[in-house]
Amino acid sequence: MLPIDQLIKPLSRDQVRDSIYRLLTATGLPVTSWKEGGVARTIIIVIAAIFAGFTEVIALAIKANYLDLAEGIWLTLLAYYVYGVERIGATFATGQVTLVNSGGGIYPFEAGEFVCRNPGTDAHYTNVSAFTLGAGQTLTIDIRAVAAGRDGSSSAGQITALVTAMLGVSCSNAAALAGRDEESDPALRQACRDSLGALSPNGPQAAYEYWAKRARRADGTIVDVTRVWVSPASSVGHVQVYVASSSGAVDGDAEDPDTDLGAVKATIMRRVVPKGVTCTVASATAVTVTVTGTAWVQAAANLSDAAWQAMFGEQIDAYLAEVPIGGHVLTSPPGHVFRNAVIGQVEAVSKFVIKFDPTLPAGDTSLAEGEVPVAGAHSFTVQQVG
């Protein structure tokens, strides 16, 4: 029996071709006398190419049977049909932008007609509902990214360009907008493992985490919960659960199932909490972490200061969106967002980044139980080094 590492390893064209020649030689055919470019050798090359592609499909199909090896659509199918877990799709970044009309024009728009963008990332956004911007008026409107996923995210103050022509009008976003990529393969594998814990009638920690992240609104859409904190064992039968989204807090009222937070609690109460146990579900408290400082980069990268600033902001926002509730705990609480980790994130953006010297945060940011970091209005000074 072949070991698994051999079964999941596809053959290259050359390997298939050589194998065919060995078999033909074993039957007594004079393969060494065949001319290069001749009919026989050409046919063998074509067969080798086809069969090599077939072995790739075979390898993927075999890997699809194992949670740790399955990838992509194969993992999606395995998760759904074996574990009953659906991969969470990408979401659109949503938020608000403030329009300031310094001129005398009046601009009416139906939903989806107005477009603005982030000059650093070129992410585009459109209005969610109809609005009219009057002469000399300042108006805050709801917007949504045109593209789904994290590419549609923007830090605070980064959406400053109008695609739609509006003379005398400027725009800016006071708060960050966060989109969520399709659930990654590692995250989906963990969800499958958590789903096994969710089968227990005793409410283990994995069950709380699984159902909190899989809670659905009344319309069937997934509530944006990416981080969950569950209290340790209690002698009085009480479980405290904190939840956070990719952008920080989870909106709503825990006692109102028509809100996001209420939908999460209702799901946990229905699916997890055993009899005789009380459970409190709350949104994590947002703690703003603002990063400012000077970054030295190599001019050879041929990027503008604005492009570097946008890349740094995206990297920091993505990092903060994954910091667990309560921060990273080394030995005992409290947890932290470590200053050195922030420096490392900026310097890891590109091999062309030489050094980052932060002004903020001045030190490690402490996070208490139930607190989660959210991105502030970052500011980066870029020094191009020749």
pLDDT at res. 201: 57
- CATH fit for domain 198-283, picks 1.10.10, 1.10.260, 2.60.40, 3.30.70: 3.30.70
Answer yes or no: are the C-beta atoms of 273 and 203 closer than 8 Å: yes
Q: Which residues are within 8 A (CB) of 188 and not within 5 positions of it... i.e. 6 or more apart?
A: 75, 76, 79, 85, 87
Answer yes or no: are the C-beta atoms of 311 and 351 closer than 8 Å: no
pLDDT at res. 8: 78
pLDDT at res. 203: 57
The three-class DSSP label of residue 227 is strand
pLDDT tens string for the chain (386 positions)? 667 777 778 889 999 988 888 988 888 888 888 888 888 888 989 999 998 898 888 888 888 899 999 999 999 999 999 999 999 999 899 999 999 999 989 999 999 999 999 998 899 999 999 999 999 999 999 999 999 998 899 888 899 999 999 999 999 999 888 888 999 999 999 999 888 877 765 557 888 999 999 999 999 999 999 999 999 877 778 999 999 998 889 999 999 999 999 999 999 999 888 888 899 999 999 999 999 999 999 999 999 999 999 999 999 999 999 999 999 999 888 999 999 999 999 999 999 999 999 999 999 999 999 999 999 989 999 999 98
Answer yes or no: are the C-beta atoms of 297 and 308 closer than 8 Å: yes
Taken in order 285, 233, 322, 190, the sign of the CA dihedral is: negative
Q: Which residues are within 8 A (CB) of 265 and not within 5 positions of it... i.e. 6 or more apart?
A: 254, 255, 257, 279, 281
CA distance 188 to 214: 12
The three-class DSSP label of residue 295 is strand
Q: Where do the structural domains in the chain lie, given as residue ranges?
A: 4-63, 94-172, 198-283, 287-385
